Structure 1
Amino acid sequence: MIRVLLADDQALIRAGFRALIEHTDDIVVVGEATDGEQAVSLATTTRPDIVLMDIRMPGVDGLEATRRIADSQHLAGVRVLILTTFESDDYIYEALRSGASGFVVKDTEPAELVQAVRIVAAGDALLSPSVTRRLIADIAAKGRPNTAATAYRIDRLTGRERQVLALVGRGHSNDEIAGNLFLSPLTAKTHVSRIMTKLAVRDRAQLVVIAYETGLVTVGSAHHPPNP
């Protein structure tokens, strides 16, 4: 059973999400928060699998709450799925860098929202093409791959692991990585897990950020195979 905490200051939105989730067989709502402070507190006491987190909340906003959850060793297994009104929300990129596993637009179709929860609960990143494009553009504008490479210590990775990280950065699933590199899906999954351990990150969303910030993946290279 996937345990979900709802964090949104609008009661109608929370009620809508709760009604939707209650019609599923594998997801349950374990609490509701009206601001970021309460979201962190309830996450600590209820230990949900997923926090559906609105960015724009009074007091402690969703961005800061996401950062606190990501930084807490006690909440290491809790993933944050960002809720936003528009895909162009200025804080999405920072939320991903703060530890969010992805985002979903509030007017997403009900079936897609439920699927989003399942995807993030399974440990996968959830990034729409529009957000990925903005992510790439923002990182490209900074132009500091050497500094980022040192900061993230990607020198700890083997050549194969760098190939895998580059493919993760381009949005490939484990099955797609396996096909590209002629590996079994289990071996591809093992590589991804080892990379996350070596780079001390929580999930694939942060690997996407690292792949671009370190220059393993560059703008315009999304369809090119990674170098060995």
Structure 2
Amino acid sequence: MSRPRPVYLIDYSCYRPPDHLKAPYNSFLEHTRLTGDFDESSLEFQHEILERSRLGEETYVPQAMHNIPPTPSMAVAKEEAEEVMYGTLDILFRNTNVNPKDIGILIVNCSLFNLTPSLSAMIVNKYKLRGNIRSFNLGGMGCSAGVIAVDLAKDMLQVHRNTYAVVVSIENITQNWYFGNKKSMLIPNYLFRVEGSAILLSIGGELSISSFMW
């Protein structure tokens, strides 16, 4: 009875932004030039990094970065977080037919953007999750936070059984775009985009759909 029970991935969802936020190579580079924040050496460096990144032509950047000049602020960063988190969870709940009230564990990780109320609290309020939900907000932990969040959900499900765990993983770049000519600081501009994912986890046996287990 004390042996850990397997934890299953029930389903997952990924957020796809609207087409007007798309940033193909040529448009992205031209927009970067028009901002007037970069010298010629930095522009050439950014062109090389973008070609080597292999991100593809269908990536997305926040609305604030499409404006000339860019208009980053706390308010629009919050809007970006809401669009990504809620868009991802709407898909997850729709595909699984899981009632949000059945979620007993919620873990949200976002390294670069943390505010009060927390991102996890925003989700709890948005979907009217139950009052005794175990919610966690992981921030400032880099890319490893996604793995840490899943491991935390696994451990929590061993203790709090007969429930579901949801892990939401996003990043937020509205306020974290670099406007300058230090080349090492420019690289994240070409690695991060508007994105997010959510996964639904459960102790083995709760649902018949499963993809993998620990």
Q: Structures share a fold, TM > 0.5?
A: no
Q: Which one has a larger percent strand, Structure 1 or Structure 2?
A: 2
**Structure with bigger gyration radius:** 2
Higher RCO structure, 1 or 2 (CA under 8 Å, sep 6+): 2
* TM-score of the aligned structures, taking structure 1 as reference length: 0.28
